[in-house]
Amino acid sequence: MSDTPDRPQLYLITPTDLDLLSYPDKLAACLDATEIACVRLSMASRDEASIAKAADALREVTHARDVALVIDTHIQLVERLGLDGVHLQDGARSIKKVRKDLGDDAIIGTFCGNSTHDGMTAGELGADYVSFGPCGQTPLGDGSTAPLDLFEWWSQMIEVPVVAEGALDEDLVRALSPHTDFFGLGDELWRHDDPAAVLKSLIAVMS
């Protein structure tokens, strides 16, 4: 639950390259600054030992504060590492199998780009949430964005919770606040020396 009923909840996305000497403290400062619904471990590395080491460090921070920790893509590591669920990157394609494999208690979300069709299908197949993005312009991907009217339509028509993520700034956060359930914040925070202060500034412009 959000500590402010009218504003979206917050969902933090880790950097893809983690410095385990400094990042857990930065994450802890953000979790202590305001209520956070979920943290996503999103590493570029495919080395399971490195991922496990990061998961152990972050789980200690998140679970001490009763915050869920999910992992990007690595379905097979959820139970092994004691995580709360998985964030998929393939729209609706693997939701049904992953739900069967991980069970009803696991958090399962999926990134759907700007496809409402994928989002609706994912919800029907058992996703706990869908995410759309990027919301702002980014050099990554093919240049497509998830526009404001997508979130406006979704909030009016669909009950499955939605996450707005990717290249967010204060203007986008202000515009999207009435229409999204969660903001997924990653590099928007971590590229700054004081992520917790940036987080507070973004919260200040939310409805």
| CA dist., res. 162 & res. 153, Å (int) | 11
Give the pair of three-digit tokens for residue 86.
């998985």
Statement: residue 112 has pLDDT above 70? yes
Distance CA(135)–CA(150), nearest Å, equals 10
Chain-wide mean pLDDT for the chain?
A: 96
Q: Which residue has the tokens 């199998």?
A: 97
User: Are the CB atoms for 114 and 162 separated by under 8 Å?
Assistant: no
Four-way CATH pick for 9-204: 3.40.50.40, 3.20.20.70, 3.30.70.100, 3.40.50.2020: 3.20.20.70
Residue 141 is predicted with a pLDDT of 77
Q: Domain boundaries in the chain?
A: 9-204
What is the model's pLDDT at position 142?
83
Residues counted in the chain: 207
DSSP 127-168: -SEEEE---S--SSTTS----HHHHHHHHHH--S-EEEESS-
Element (H or E) spanning 129, and its range?
A: strand 129-132
Residue 92 has pLDDT above 80, yes or no: yes
Q: Which residues pair with 184 in a beta bridge?
A: 11, 165
pLDDT at 4: 53
Place of tokens 């994450």: 27
pLDDT tens for each residue of 140-192 = 778 899 999 999 999 999 999 999 999 999 999 999 999 999 999 999 999 99
What are the beta bridge partners of residue 13? 40
pLDDT higher than threshold 60 for residue 102: yes
Task: Tell the residue number behind the tokens 């490195």, with chain if given.
Answer: 50
Q: What percent of the chain is predicted at pLDDT more than 70?
A: 98
Amino acid at 9: Q
pTM: 0.96
> Of residues 191 and 139, which shows the higher confidence score?
191
Q: pLDDT value at position 74?
A: 97
pLDDT of residue 86: 98
- What is the pLDDT confidence band of residue 6, given thresholds at 50, 70 and 90? confident
- Show the tokens assigned to 173: 């956060």
pLDDT tens for 9-42 read: 999 999 999 999 999 999 999 999 999 999 999 9
Q: Looking at the predicted structure, is the pLDDT value of residue 1 above 90?
A: no
% of the chain residues with pLDDT over 90 = 94
Q: How far is it, in rounded angstroms, from Cα 164 to Cα 184?
A: 6
pLDDT category at 2 given cuts 50, 70, 90 is very low
Q: What pairs with residue 10 in β-bridges?
A: 183
* For range 53-67, the mean pLDDT: 98
